Structures are given as structure tokens and as C-alpha cells.
């Protein structure tokens, strides 16, 4: 069944999208590739331009909201965090201090995603190669922090935001173009921060001084130290709730444009130091612009997938998107705090392909190729490794100074017992050149694959034919299939 489906995909030269019925209209192989079109998403129309780069594969994930799907492992993590904050932090009338927002639209403006967070116009995080843009003014949020300013502007001073976020990234077992974040924000008035502090009435939140490694120019040292203490205490309690007491924790100084000072928390889990979240004292300029000039605060953000992979021993991020009942039923727990260890679904080995191709000298990033492979191979592709770089020995200058690459693709079926045989992998793999929207990326050996379908044996190379590039060769490797 699976093998025949792969053959149909390769022969028809279509893109393999497991949830094709959920792909919004206008989300072809590279939605937005043709400026002047219109993309319809979540009930709104977005004109496309030269910045539009969202693939149909990614658009198919919009609206799935795994964090709100009951008994999904990401939902379990969200509920555990939410229950902890509800129980530990209560307002004056006995109601939860923190409000939770887990259904905000993932489509935001570039102002929300960058400018509201004080991210400079030339900051590398804005790059088209690292984000999914609907057009020059709208995008799929790259972090839940994109909603921070709006919620502060609405008058909130303690909240959690949970949602799917989108970033173009490499292909391996720990990276996926869609993942889920949980954001926390807490603001303090002078009275709230200094309550219970000896001579607290004489202390101030703000002053005019100089910025240092430990504080902002507008904050007093007393205020920063108390906010930092409250932040670290809050997060230490949270990870103790998730992982258990007695956990070794360390704080690493780091940089974020929207907090200062900033920290990353690492935990020692099973003898290995793991980064679990980032946090810091909120930039006062951000807080002031949202209308909370009389307050100071902290913010943190964590990845739900990262916590779930650690807590439930889930080895591959692709599994979170599985519809396989054998995966989902493992997390149908009567208590969200119940311990569970993921049991693997497939015993079969991986299939490996090598591909060589030329790259253009401009307007190209490695994430373009990763998106292409993901669009065609879907969740069958577990990992892509760059194993070689090379220059054309004779015609390098004539090929617009393009560089060559050899990439290794590892295919593995995670949620099925069907064996992915090398012939089937080869036929799907051959769809990569024909399906590419990167007209300047020239793969080698497409003719061989589309005619023969089978992969070469390890170490085998084939002379170029008259229809191919003068130096085009292709080699592939895979374990012997059954």
C-alpha cells in the first residue's frame, strides 16, 4: 500500500502532502511563488508578492492546533504547565492570576513579529530564508512573543500564550518547520514588587542611569534583582513540577532583543545538560510602548516539543504529527501528570539516498532545499546531511560561480510497519528535481532515476549521458531491502 502510493506520487510528479484535503486554496508547491496571486488562509485573503514563500506542506499544518488536541503529548505538556500556574499563582479573589490564550491566529503582521519586540530592521532573524512570509506585511508567526505587545496593550499583566510557530530550518529528528511554544509574561507595579521588603516604600522601580550587563538604563538595581529572583524562582518551580524535585539547574547569560538581562535555563537530566527555555527582564521600551509605563516585568518562552521529547522519550519530532493510533493511544492518560514512556512503532531500518546538485550564487539558502525535500518527501524524510562541497573544475566561472553540494537524505517510516524499500524510495526521490521551484538548483542524475527507478549500489557511479550536464553523476546508497 505505502509502496504503491509512493510510486503514484513520483510518476504523477505531484507533491506528497499527507493532509492534502486540508491545504488551503492557492497553496501549491511553493505558495506565493507567483506575485500577483492571492492566498486564502483561515478565512482571509492575502495578496502574494516577491516575499511570499509558504509551501503547501506548511500551510497544511495551519489550523491543526496539536496543543489543543486532547490527550496529544503536546496538549499534556500544556495542561501540566497550565495547572501548575493556576494552582501556584492566585489573584486576590481566589481566581487564577495568569490568563491563558491558546487559540490566537498564527498569522501576524511583520510589525507584531519583529518591530513590536524591538528587533532591528536588519536583524538576521527577519531573513526570508528563515521565516514563512505570506507577503511583505504578513507572515506565520516565528514565536508566540508576537502577541506580547497586543496583550500588554489590552491591560493584561500576567498571561500565558500557547500556539504553533513557524520557522524554516534544517531537516533532522529535532527540527520541523512547525513547532509549538508556550510564552509567559508577568508585570509588577511598585507596590507588588516591593511588598514585604523592609523599607520597600522608599525603593523605586526606575532611574536614569547607564545600561550595564546586569540592568537596563531605566531600572534600579533593586528592582531588577527582585524581578530576576521572582522569574528564576517561578521557572525553577515549574521545571520541578514537570521533572521532579532535586533537579540540577544552571542559568546561562544570553541575548534576546526584547529582554535584558537575558538567561537560558539548562537542566541536568539523566546526566546530560539540556537547554529547556529562554527568559529575561522585559525591555522597558517595549513595556512603555504598550502603555504600562509604571510597571516592570519578566517574560519566558519554552518549546512544547522539546519538553515532550525529554519527558516522554520521543526520539523524533515528526511523530507529533502522526495520526497512527498506536502512537496516539500511548498518551490517553487519566491524569496529565502520569508518567509515560513512548514505545517505538517501527523496527525497520532507514533508506539512504545521496544527491549532488549545483546551487545558484544568489537568492538561495539551504532552507530552500530543505523546504523542497519536505514538500515532496513529507514526513518520510528523517534527516538531510551535507556531506560534500565542491566547485566545477572546468566551468565554475561559467555557472554563475555556483557552488556544488552533495546531500544525504535519510528516509524512515516512523508510524507504520511497512518497509520502505529502495526502489520505492528511489521513485519518490526522483520527484525532487522535477518538482523543484528552485529553477537555478540543478540536481544531477534525474534522468537515471526517472528512467530506472532503482538506486545505485554503494559506491557505484554512472557516466553522464548526452542529455545531462557534462560532469553530471549521481550515486546513491541504501541498506539492502527485503
- Tens of pLDDT along the chain (482 residues) come to 333 333 333 333 233 223 223 333 333 434 444 678 999 999 999 999 999 999 998 999 999 999 999 999 999 999 999 999 999 999 888 899 999 999 999 999 999 999 999 999 999 999 999 999 999 999 999 999 999 999 999 999 999 999 999 999 887 878 899 999 999 999 999 999 999 898 888 999 999 999 999 999 999 999 999 999 999 999 999 999 999 988 899 999 999 999 999 999 999 988 889 999 999 999 999 999 999 999 999 999 999 999 999 999 999 898 999 998 999 999 999 999 999 999 987 776 767 777 776 666 677 777 777 777 777 766 677 667 777 776 766 655 433 334 555 555 555 555 444 444 445 555 555 555 444 444 334 433 332 222 222 222 333 333 333 333 323 222 333 322 23
SS3 429: helix
Give the integer Cα–Cα distance in Å for 458 and 452: 16
The two counts, helices (H) then strands (E), for the chain are: 14, 15
Query: Hey, what's the torsion of the CAs at 184, 187, 191, 196, to 10 degrees?
Result: 30
DSSP H stretches of helix in 274-421: 284-289, 304-312, 325-328, 366-377
Give the integer Cα–Cα distance in Å for 157 and 185: 7
Would you state the pLDDT for residue 399?
Answer: 37
If you compute the radius of gyration of the chain from its CA atoms, what whole number of angstroms results? Answer: 25
Task: Tell the burial category of 54 from Cβ atoms under 10 Å away from its Cβ (0-12, 13-18, 19+).
Answer: buried
400 — phi, psi (to 5°)?
45, 35
Give the integer Cα–Cα distance in Å for 414 and 409: 15
Give the integer Cα–Cα distance in Å for 4 and 366: 31
**CB 277 within 8 Å of CB 300:** yes
- Cα 287–Cα 293–Cα 298 angle in degrees, nearest 5: 40
Give the integer Cα–Cα distance in Å for 346 and 324: 11
Kindly report the number of other CB atoms within 10 A of residue 50's CB atom: 12
DSSP string, 224-263: HHHHHHHHHHHHHHHHHHHH-TT-EEEEEEEEETTEEEEE
**CB 180 within 8 Å of CB 165:** yes
Q: Which of 429, 382, 335 is nearest to 173 (CA)?
A: 382
Lookup result for grid cell 484535503 = 21
Q: Which residues pair with 161 in a beta bridge?
A: 101, 183
Q: Which of 370, 359, 358, 354 is nearest to 449 (CA)?
A: 354
Q: What's 407's DSSP letter?
A: E
Amino acid at each position: 500500500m505505502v509502496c504503491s502510493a509512493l510510486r503514484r506520487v513520483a510518476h504523477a510528479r505531484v507533491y506528497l502532502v499527507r493532509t492534502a484535503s486540508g491545504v488551503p486554496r492557492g497553496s501549491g508547491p511553493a505558495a506565493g511563488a507567483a506575485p500577483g496571486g492571492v492566498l486564502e488562509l483561515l478565512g482571509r485573503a492575502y495578496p502574494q508578492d516577491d516575499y511570499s514563500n509558504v509551501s503547501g506542506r506548511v500551510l497544511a499544518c495551519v489550523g491543526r492546533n496539536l496543543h489543543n488536541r486532547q490527550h496529544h503529548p503536546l496538549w499534556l505538556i500544556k495542561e501540566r504547565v497550565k495547572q501548575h500556574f493556576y494552582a501556584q499563582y492566585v489573584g486576590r479573589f481566589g481566581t487564577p492570576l495568569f490568563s491563558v490564550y491558546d487559540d490566537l491566529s498564527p498569522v501576524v503582521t511583520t510589525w507584531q513579529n519583529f518591530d513590536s519586540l524591538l528587533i532591528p530592521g536588519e536583524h538576521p532573524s527577519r531573513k526570508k530564508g528563515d521565516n514563512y512570509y505570506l507577503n511583505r506585511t504578513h507572515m506565520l508567526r516565528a514565536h508566540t512573543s508576537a502577541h506580547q505587545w497586543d496583550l500588554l496593550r489590552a491591560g493584561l499583566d500576567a498571561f500565558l500564550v500557547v500556539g504553533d510557530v513557524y520557522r524554516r530550518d534544517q531537516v533532522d529528528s529535532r527540527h520541523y518547520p512547525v513547532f509549538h511554544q508556550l510564552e509567559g509574561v508577568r508585570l509588577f507595579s511598585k507596590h507588588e514588587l516591593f511588598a514585604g521588603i523592609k523599607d520597600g516604600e522608599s525603593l523605586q522601580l526606575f532611574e536614569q542611569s547607564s545600561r550595564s550587563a546586569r540592568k537596563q538604563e531605566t531600572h534600579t538595581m533593586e528592582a531588577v534583582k527582585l524581578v530576576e529572583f521572582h522569574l528564576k524562582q517561578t521557572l525553577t518551580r515549574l521545571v520541578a513540577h514537570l521533572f521532579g524535585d532535586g533537579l540540577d539547574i544552571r542559568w546561562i547569560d544570553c541575548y534576546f532583543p526584547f529582554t535584558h538581562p537575558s538567561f537560558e535555563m539548562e537542566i541536568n537530566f539523566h546526566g546530560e545538560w539540556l537547554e529547556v527555555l529562554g527568559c529575561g527582564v522585559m525591555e522597558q521600551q517595549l513595556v512603555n510602548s504598550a502603555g504600562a509605563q509604571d510597571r516592570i516585568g519578566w517574560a519566558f518562552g519554552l518549546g512544547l516539543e522539546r519538553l515532550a521529547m525529554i519527558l516522554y522519550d520521543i526520539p523524533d519530532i515528526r511523530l507529533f504529527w502522526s495520526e497512527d493510533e498506536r502512537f496516539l493511544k500511548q498518551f490517553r492518560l487519566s491524569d496529565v501528570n502520569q508518567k509515560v514512556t513512548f514505545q517505538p512503532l517501527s523496527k525497520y531500518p532507514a533508506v539512504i539516498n545521496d544527491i549532488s546538485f549545483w546551487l545558484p550564487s544568489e537568492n538561495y539558502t539551504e532552507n530552500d532545499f530543505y523546504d523542497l525535500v519536505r514538500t515532496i518527501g513529507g514526513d518520510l524524510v528523517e534527516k538531510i546531511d551535507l556531506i560534500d562541497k565542491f566547485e566545477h573544475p572546468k566551468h565554475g566561472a561559467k555557472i554563475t560561480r555556483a557552488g556544488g553540494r552533495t546531500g544525504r537524505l535519510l528516509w524512515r517510516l516512523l508510524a507504520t510497519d511497512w518497509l520502505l524499500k529502495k526502489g520505492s524510495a528511489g521513485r519518490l526521490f526522483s520527484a525532487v528535481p522535477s518538482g523543484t521551484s528552485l529553477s537555478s538548483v540543478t540536481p544531477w542524475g534525474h534522468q537515471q532515476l526517472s528512467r530506472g527507478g532503482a538506486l545505485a549500489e554503494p559506491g557505484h557511479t554512472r557516466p553522464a549521458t548526452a542529455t545531462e550536464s557534462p560532469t553530471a553523476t549521481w550515486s546513491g546508497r541504501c541498506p539492502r531491502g527485503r
